[in-house]
């Protein structure tokens, strides 16, 4: 399921907290909140997702819907090294960013880290040990076609908004994602729309609403029943 022929047209932007994001000019979509990419990722995926998973599970397997800029992967890697907890991280991405664009992202500068190039340069479709506690598998392709023997403890559901990609927010696709999680596994997402909550519930999740990052009243954490 290689999509190397899919060329993205994108440019880097600076969000309100100083961290970069990407704007897809073809689709007219931002990869993160323009009010702060770093703040959004930290709140939605690390605080509500990873920290909760640390409390529930020993070894952690994370699945990310949409590798994109690698910001969520980098923040997760930094948590793995800070805590000494082993994390196996799998991300699916249908339209990988060009490497030269990824190299311009300022996340390492802002986070005082140096691992972003290794995340982007890691080969696709196989596990790579990036740091002692962080193993990365980037799978090029569509979530709809993704399959794995592994069961995950945590899903970062970071698809483009439902207005742009409604097919990624259906009860059917959430059922597939629920099947990828262990019982009690966690899914977090920045989108709290009513029908997203309903579709998650229909797919077998218990849905919690939590205060979001800057200018975002609510975000979701869903637990697989």
Ligand X SMILES: C[S@@+](CC[C@H](N)C(=O)[O-])C[C@H]1O[C@@H](n2cnc3c(N)ncnc32)[C@H](O)[C@@H]1O
Residue 11 or 183 having the CB closest to ligand X: 11
- Contact range with ligand X by CB under 6 A, out of 122-130, 158-166, 173-181, 215-223: 158-166
63 phi and psi angles, rounded to 5 deg: -120, 130
Site for ligand X in 72-131 (CB under 6 A): 72, 92-95
Q: Which of 50, 62, 71, 196 binds ligand X (CB under 6 A)?
A: 71
Residue 167 or 225 having the CB closest to ligand X: 167
- In the chain, alpha helices (H): 37-41, 51-56, 71-83, 99-102, 107-111, 116-121, 171-180, 194-202
- CA 78 from centroid of its chain's CA atoms: 15
Distance separating alpha carbons of residues 175 and 178, to the nearest angstrom = 5
Identify any residues that bridge with 93 across adjacent strands, giving them in sequence order: 140
Q: Is beta strand 60-65 parallel, antiparallel or unpaired with respect to 87-93?
A: parallel
- Contact range with ligand X by CB under 6 A, out of 66-74, 80-88, 169-177, 199-207: 66-74
191 near ligand X (CB under 6 A)? no
| Size of site (CB under 6 A) for ligand X | 18
Structure tokens at 95: 């339209």
Structure tokens at 189: 């997402």
159 near ligand X (CB under 6 A)? yes
Per the CB < 8 A criterion, the answer to whether 173 and 143 are in contact is yes
Residue 47 or 184 having the CB closest to ligand X: 47
Per the CB < 8 A criterion, the answer to whether 220 and 191 are in contact is yes
- Mask: binding to ligand X, 19-38, rule CB under 6 A, as x and -? ------------x-------
* Contacting residues toward ligand X, per CB under 6 A: 31, 66, 68-69, 71-72, 92-95, 142-144, 158-160, 165, 168
């Amino acid at each position: 399921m290689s999509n190397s022929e899919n060329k993205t047209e994108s440019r880097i932007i600076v969000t309100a907290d100083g961290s970069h994001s990407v704007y897809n000019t073809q689709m007219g979509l931002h990869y993160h909140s323009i009010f702060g990419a770093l703040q959004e990722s930290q709140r939605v995926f690390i605080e509500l997702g990873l920290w909760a998973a640390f409390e529930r599970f020993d070894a952690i397997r994370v699945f990310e819907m949409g590798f994109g800029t690698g910001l969520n992967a980098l923040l997760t890697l930094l948590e793995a090294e800070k805590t000494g907890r082993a994390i196996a991280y799998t991300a699916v991405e249908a339209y990988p960013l060009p490497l030269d664009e990824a190299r311009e992202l300022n996340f390492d500068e802002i986070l005082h880290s140096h691992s972003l190039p290794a995340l982007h340069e890691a080969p696709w479709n196989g596990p790579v040990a990036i740091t002692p506690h962080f193993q990365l598998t980037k799978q090029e392709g569509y979530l709809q076609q993704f399959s794995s023997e592994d069961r995950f403890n945590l899903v970062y559901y970071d698809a483009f908004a439902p207005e742009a990609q409604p097919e990624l927010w259906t009860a059917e696709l959430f059922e597939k994602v629920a099947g990828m999680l262990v019982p009690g596994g966690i899914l977090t997402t920045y989108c709290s729309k009513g029908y997203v909550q309903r579709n998650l519930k229909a797919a077998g999740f218990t849905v919690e609403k939590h205060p979001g990052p800057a200018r975002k009243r609510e975000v979701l954490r869903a637990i697989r029943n």
